[in-house]
Amino acid sequence: MSKIVFKNYNKCIYCGSKNLKKEKKQSSKTNFYLEAIKFDLNISTKKIGQSKVYKCQRCKILQNNPWFKESIANKIFSNIYGQHNRGWSNALNFLKKGISPDHGKLYEILNKNIKIKNYAEFNSPFMGLMLNFFQSEYKKKISFYRNILTSTIKYLSSRQVAGKNTLQKKLSGKQAEKFLKRSIILKKNNLIKKDINKYLFFDNSNLCWGQNDNYNSVNSKSFASELLDLEILDINKKNHIKKLDIFGIFHTLDHTFEPSKILNFALDKSKYVIVYCHVNEKIEKQHLFSITREFLKYLNKKGIYTFDLTNLIGKHYSEPEMYFLCSKNKTLINKIKI
C-alpha cells in the first residue's frame, strides 16, 4: 500500500469556502475506530495527530485537515470497520428484544404534527425511524420479530450458492421458497398494513458503509428491503418519487463527500428534513467533518429554515448531538413550532 494516506482538504467540504481557521481545541483522544485504523494502515499516533481541526468561517462546520484520501476512506469504511456496528445493533436490539433506536419522543412528535405517507432516509436503514414505522405496521409480539429476523436472514443466505453442488442448490432453492413464504414480503399473507411508503436513498460514498455492511453474510440494504418493505434508490439517478413528507438523515450527513448536495436533494424532494448529527467541538480523527450548532444560522441565511428539536424530544445524550428539522418552506417550520 502507498504510504501516502492523507490529502489536504483546504476548502470547506460543505460550502467550498477557503476561509478555514485552525481551532484552539484539538482532540488527542483515541478510540476503537482510530486504533483499528492505525493497526490496519500501519500508521502511528503521531501521523494521525498531524490532522488538525479547522472551522469554516462561512458555514461554521468543523473539518479535519489533512485527512484520509478517498481511496483510504473507502478502505476504512469497507474493510477496516466495514460493518456499521451501530446500525446493526439497532436492528438486532429491536428484532431480538423489541427495543427501538433511542430518539426520545421524536417519532411521536413528528407523527402528531405531520401527516406522513411518504418517508425516506439516507444511506443507513436502521439509524432512524424505519423500525418505528415497521413496529406501527406490525403490532406483534417479540417472538414474531425474532421469527422474521431468522427467516429473512435464512432466505437471503440461501441465495448464496457459490461452491455448492447441484443437490445443495436444489435443496437451497426449496429452503428459500419455505423462508419466502414465512417472511413478510408476500402481501397475500395479510401480515402487513402498509400505511407508509418507505424509501432508502444511497450515494455510494467512500465515506459510508457499503458492500461489507453485513450481518451473517447479509448486507444491510438487502436485509432492509426485505424486512422493512422499502424501495432502495440511487440518489444520483432519476427516480419516480415525487414529493416526500419527511426525509431522515440520521448520522449520515457526515458520511458523504457531498453533504451540501445531499441536504439540498432532501430539501427539494421533501416537505421536511430531519437531521440527527454529532456536534462535538473536539471532532475526532475518524471523521472528516462535523456540523455545529452555528451551522443552523448559516442555513437560515440561505433560505433553509430550521427548528432545533434537541432539547424537546426528552432524550438523554451521552455525547454532544443535535436533532434539527428543516425546510425551504418557512410556513411549514413555523407550523411545527406552534
Q: Give the pLDDT of the chain (338 residues) as one tens digit per residue.
A: 447 899 999 999 999 999 999 998 887 778 888 888 899 999 998 999 899 999 999 999 999 999 999 999 999 888 888 888 899 999 999 999 989 999 999 999 999 999 999 999 999 999 999 999 988 877 777 777 787 787 777 777 766 666 666 655 555 556 655 655 555 444 434 445 567 899 999 998 988 888 889 988 889 999 898 888 889 999 999 888 889 999 999 999 999 999 999 999 999 999 999 999 999 888 888 899 999 999 999 999 999 999 999 999 999 999 999 999 999 999 999 998 76
Given this model, what pLDDT does residue 187 score? 42
The span from the first CA to the last CA of the chain, in angstroms, equals 56
Given this model, what pLDDT does residue 134 score? 87
Q: Is the pTM of this model over 0.75?
A: yes
What's CA 126's distance to the chain center, in Å? 7
Question: How far apart are the C-alpha atoms of 153 and 156, rounded to whole Å?
Answer: 5
% helix / strand / coil in the chain, to the nearest 5? 35, 20, 45
Given this model, what pLDDT does residue 34 score? 87
Mapped onto helix, strand or coil, the DSSP state of residue 214 is strand
- φ/ψ of 150, rounded to 5, equals -60, -50
Distant-in-sequence, close-in-space partners of 331: CB < 8 Å, separation ≥ 6:
none
Q: Which CATH superfamily is domain 6-138+192-337 in?
A: Vaccinia Virus protein VP39 (3.40.50.150)
Q: What residue spans define the domains of the chain?
A: 6-138+192-337, 140-191
pLDDT tens-digit series, residues 294-335: 999 999 999 999 999 999 999 999 999 999 999 999 999 999
